[in-house]
Amino acid sequence: MKQVTMIGVGLIGGSVALALKKFHGDQLTVVGFDQDFSQLHLAESLGVIDRGSESLEEAIEGADFVFLCVPVQTLGELLKDVMLSSRLKEGAIVTDVGSTKGDVAKISQQFSSSAIFIGGHPMAGSHKSGVVAAQDRLFENAYYVLTPEAHVPRSKVAELKQLLVATEAHIVEMTPEEHDQVVATISHFPHLVASALVGHAQSYEEENDWVLRLAAGGFKDITRIASSNPRMWRDITLSNQDFLVQQIKDWQKRMDQVLKLVEAGEPDQIEEFYAKSKLIRDGIADRKRGAIPAFYDLYVDVPDHTGVIGQITTLLGIYRISITNIEILETREDILGVLRLTFRHEEDLEKAKELIENAQYKVYRRD
């Protein structure tokens, strides 16, 4: 029987553990460790892990796989403690789930160990945190990036991939540098832009308090990711600083071009600018989950009657369809429907759409 040790049993560590236990069953045992002992004991009581340990050394002893599921700012020190431990099994595979890979790859090269380190990044998450939010389907259809160094035996990479089949994620390989450049472009930099947009709008609210009161529709969609954990994004920004600085400089150049375009006021050129962006955007596979966690929104037209929203949510509850978020839209810029229901999985959205339509409500989804 294989042993998997999860160092950190929050949302990500707990979700990996649940996926492994569901898929591999009694072929493996999952041991957990967390500095927050209450979280650790909760994970054990919920069946997320088979056994918890309040000692890091005891937790990794005998492990065939060790997952480091901690914030990026503490990852380097933890990796050092694990790789240099005399309790670590010879030939064990150590991996992480951090959002950046360059720093941890450099740190891993400092150790001479019989264990093998393979960087990893499951590109999925949630607005919720902690082990209570863990779910075995969190990574389903998401991308799971592995960043093995050149010296890592291919047999070890294959072994880790075989274990991670349980996540039902699309497993791909990149170099650490390639990974960090890509996620800087399509995840980390967009978070900076979203946060800057919120601050930009807020500065205009000082002149007119209608600005944020009317901030709905497209604005809320664009800036949704600005609601993410500030401390986590502080650490991600610092750990991917070089690539983000380059992104910002390139963006400033692009915005200078856009400024000239708008100042010139040439209709054909402005339309061409939007047309090119639309063509590229429409070519992105919206139904696949990427670096920014995917959400599936359904919009429902409901009459302004007491109890209607309760009827819809009750209907979904009867069929055990989980809603990630529910929102009544007061401003519906470019959106049909007054009620927005958000789902974690597309299949949940499709089931909900069928049920609500059968209940004679108009339902829309937006691509």
Cα–Cα distance list, 21 to 6, 66, 142, 166, 219 (Å):
12, 15, 19, 8, 40
Confidence of residue 39 (pLDDT cuts 50, 70, 90): very high
- The closest of 44, 209, 301, 215 to 312, measured between CA atoms, is 301
Confidence of residue 301 (pLDDT cuts 50, 70, 90): confident
- Burial class of residue 27, CB neighbours in 10 A (0-12, 13-18, 19+): exposed
Note the pLDDT tens digit of each residue in 170-228.
999 999 999 999 999 999 999 999 999 999 999 998 888 888 877 766 787 788 888 88
Complete edge-to-edge strand list for the sheet that includes strand 296-301: 325-328, 339-343, 296-301, 362-364
Ordered structural domains, the chain, with CATH: 2-174 (3.40.50.720), 179-282 (1.10.3660.10), 296-364 (3.30.70.260)
pLDDT of residue 215: 75
Average pLDDT value for residue range 3-16: 96
Residue 115: what residue type? A
- Rounded CA separation 322/128 (Å): 14
For the cut 60, the answer to whether the pLDDT of residue 330 exceeds it is no
For the cut 80, the answer to whether the pLDDT of residue 259 exceeds it is yes
pLDDT of residue 285: 60
Note the pLDDT tens digit of each residue in 74-95.
999 999 999 999 999 999 999 9
pLDDT of residue 214: 79
For the cut 90, the answer to whether the pLDDT of residue 65 exceeds it is yes
Calculate the average pLDDT of the chain: 89
Average pLDDT value for residue range 114-134: 87
